[in-house]
Amino acid sequence: PGTLDGRIRAQSPEEFLDRLGQEYHFQWFVYNDTLYVSPSSEHTSARVEVSSDAVDDLQTALTDVGLLDKRFGWGVLPNEGVVLVRGPAKYVELVRDYSKKVETPEKGDKQDIVVFPLKYANASDRTIRYRDQQLTVAGVASILQDLLDTRSRGEAINGINLLGHGGANAGLAGGDADTQSLPLDSSGIDTGALQQGLDRVLSYGSGSKKSGKSRSGGRANIRVTADVRNNAVLIYDLPSRKPMYEKLIKELDVSRNLIEIDAVILDIDRNELAELSSRWNFNAGSVGGGVNLFDAGTSSTMFIQNAGKFSAELHALEGNGSASVIGNPSILTLENQPAVIDFSRTEYITATSERVANIEPITAGTSLQVIPRSLDHDGKPQVQLIVDIEDGQIDISDINDTQPSVRKGNVSTQAVIAEHGSLVIGGFHGLEANDKVHKIPLLGDIPYIGKLLFQSRSRELSQRERLFILTPRLIGDQVNPARYVQNGNPHDVDDQMKRIKERRDGGELPTRGDVQKVFTQMVDGTAPVGMRTGETLPFETDSLCDPGAGLTLDAQRSQWYARKDWGVAVVVAHNNTDKPVRIDESRCGGRWVIGVAAWPHAWLQPGEESEVYIAVRQPQISKMAKESRPSLLKGAKP
């Protein structure tokens, strides 16, 4: 204790204490409403170790709590995770105490690159160019980067479920994020454990609300990128955090169902549509922004329950010209992933000012954007469809004939339908004008006179309704590609591939016309073109044909003509009885036989003979020119 005598002028208490400390050689600082004073001789320095990614966050945290004082020394070694602090002993002690609350790196625990290969999910973002928009489906790398980005979490850290909002759910972005975002299905993820792990990474200090400065240290040294070539996620972070990343990526990298969407775009006469509406089985629904499809009080969305009846009605309308199919595209996509079908036309208009001319594109047409999701209701598969439809066309402007105008209609809806069911969306009206010319042949083509006397013209106006018929089908999932096959039979794929290979190699089986042509050539007394002559039959005669009672096959008198795919055997059938006997071609069968014929007669009188032609599959081929073929029947002439 001592006594101070004198007069010190200062504009603030801080300046007063500074001048007083300079005169009497002491240091001071204020923390937690307490003034700490110490002799200048007790000035000290210390080396404080923290994790490398928490160096800047520690400085921000000390500033926020009001401890960090710019009058004292402060230095950082970010690559080593070291903070150098200098000041009064009590000040250094308080800084050291706060640093202990920050994760202390283990010895040798330095940042490293960890690679996580993905099996089902995409590591990189998927970009879909949709007219003048760009839709982005976030990949796993972007999702992780958004989770680690402190700015996407706002000012508060604890108490916020990172996997339930913010960057993790921003799967589809384009235009307004609220209306064009694709949420991720994170069912099954242990959000509590992952939340705690991510909080440990990001909670080293919070941003100053007063200064408005964003925190950067939490993820300044954590880097996440996508390897497109290997479909892998690369993370640069501490190896001790690898289990946390593995758990999160395992939950995100799961197989998804494959859904095929068959779309039919149909223009139908409104009069016919009104008549069919009473026969089609539909359930009322609603479409935001749509127009009633049928009469007043009904909906512009309906579900087809009887697909066969609906298809028959549709073909009947096409036959009489009351309906026309504009397009029938089909697309395969993963659930929760957008599928875009766009048929558009682009015109360019010129906007001319005093010295500058700008060319602006105008696009219109039919576009369909669908996001499917598979559901299971009481063991019955269902499909949820989120549908956005735009239909329009480019017309001549009523104001300026030199500039085009665009007429568009939009429908946005979602519905849940049974698998193999169809969703019909309408409400797009149009007026169609058809000019018809009726004329007398030849006379109607006479110049001037033909148009006046022998031609008539008529114009028909019809109101058309454009329908969009969507039929989703669950194909399978990413685990088993064999589920692409209908009814889940993988052998169908092998059979179809074999048939394709046979067609490419020229090994396709002959048609009925091919067999008939060869038989005709043999009846005319010529050898089949493209077949080689064999010396003996490659099989026993009775192995292919059972002649039946009263008939015998003479194997000594036989001929064989072969090619790569098939061949023809010629044998003689003899009637050994005293009554007429018919050669039954159906008795010549089996898996190898593809055709049978008898010449000159199928009915044989007692002692009479005929040739029997048997076409069988044969894996040998040879090409020969025409040559004469002697008949095996005595005295027979072709």
Kindly report, residue by residue over 108-155, the tens digit of the pLDDT: 567 788 899 998 888 888 888 777 777 888 889 998 888 887 544 443
Q: Per-residue pLDDT for 318 more than 60? A: yes
Q: In the numeric block, which tokens belong to residue 314?
A: 């549709």
In this structure, which amino acid lies at residue 387?
A: V
Give the start-to-end residue ranges of the domains of the chain. Answer: 13-99, 112-254, 259-477, 512-617
Contacts of 401 (CB under 8 A, 6+ apart): none
Q: Per-residue pLDDT for 345 more than 50? A: yes
Residue 424 near residue 466, CB atoms below 8 Å = no
Spatial separation of the C-alpha atoms in residues 256 and 374, rounded to whole Å: 9
Q: State mean pLDDT over 519-538.
A: 84
Q: Per-residue pLDDT for 622 more than 50? A: no
Query: What pLDDT, on a 0 to 100 scale, did the predictor assign at position 282?
Result: 43
Residue 206 near residue 215, CB atoms below 8 Å = yes
> Predicted confidence band at 226 (pLDDT cuts at 50, 70, 90)?
very high
* Region of poorest pLDDT, from 107-121, 328-342, 366-380: 107-121
Which single residue is written with the structure tokens 């023809």?
Answer: 568
What percentage of the chain exceeds 90 in pLDDT?
3
Q: State mean pLDDT over 172-201.
A: 45
Residue pLDDT, tens place only, 416-439:
888 778 888 877 776 665 666 777
Which residues share a beta bridge with 234?
Answer: 115, 225
Residue 405: which of 366, 368, 364 has the closest Cα? Answer: 364
Residue 483 near residue 286, CB atoms below 8 Å = no
Spatial separation of the C-alpha atoms in residues 531 and 20, rounded to whole Å: 120
Using alpha carbons only, how large is the chain's radius of gyration in Å?
43
State the pTM of this model. 0.48
Which single residue is written with the structure tokens 């000040």?
Answer: 91
Residue 427 near residue 300, CB atoms below 8 Å = yes
Q: State mean pLDDT over 380-386.
A: 88
Query: What pLDDT, on a 0 to 100 scale, did the predictor assign at position 102?
Result: 60
Q: What is the DSSP string of 566-600?
A: EEEEEEEEEE-SSS-EE--GGGB-SSSEEEEEEES
Q: State mean pLDDT over 246-269.
A: 87
> Predicted confidence band at 188 (pLDDT cuts at 50, 70, 90)?
very low
Q: In the numeric block, which tokens belong to residue 591?
A: 């898996």
Spatial separation of the C-alpha atoms in residues 214 and 410, rounded to whole Å: 41
Q: What is the mean pLDDT of the chain?
A: 73
User: Which of the four CATH numbers 2.60.120.10, 2.102.10.10, 2.40.50.140, 3.30.1370.120 does domain 13-99 have?
Assistant: 3.30.1370.120
Q: State mean pLDDT over 542-571.
A: 82
* Region of poorest pLDDT, from 27-36, 54-63, 489-498, 619-628: 619-628
The angle formed by the CA atoms of residues 67, 69 and 73, to the nearest 5 degrees, is 120
> Predicted confidence band at 207 (pLDDT cuts at 50, 70, 90)?
very low
Query: What pLDDT, on a 0 to 100 scale, did the predictor assign at position 463?
Result: 74
Spatial separation of the C-alpha atoms in residues 568 and 518, rounded to whole Å: 9
The secondary structure element, H or E, covering residue 258 is: strand 257-269
Q: Per-residue pLDDT for 218 more than 50? A: no
Can you give 75-111 as a three-state secondary structure string? EEECCCCEEEEEEEHHHHHHHHHHHCCCCCCCCCCCC
Sign of the alpha-carbon torsion through 145, 148, 150, 156:
positive
Q: In the numeric block, which tokens belong to residue 52?
A: 């490398």
Phi, psi of 92 (to 5 degrees): -65, -35
Residue pLDDT, tens place only, 37-50:
888 888 888 888 87
Q: What Å distances lie between residue 74 and 45, 46, 213, CA to CA?
A: 10, 10, 19
Residue pLDDT, tens place only, 461-517:
667 788 888 888 888 776 665 555 555 455 665 666 666 565 555 455 677 788 888
Query: What pLDDT, on a 0 to 100 scale, did the predictor assign at position 40?
Result: 85
Query: What pLDDT, on a 0 to 100 scale, did the predictor assign at position 491?
Result: 60
Phi, psi of 517 (to 5 degrees): -65, -40
Query: What pLDDT, on a 0 to 100 scale, did the predictor assign at position 285?
Result: 38
Spatial separation of the C-alpha atoms in residues 140 and 263, rounded to whole Å: 30
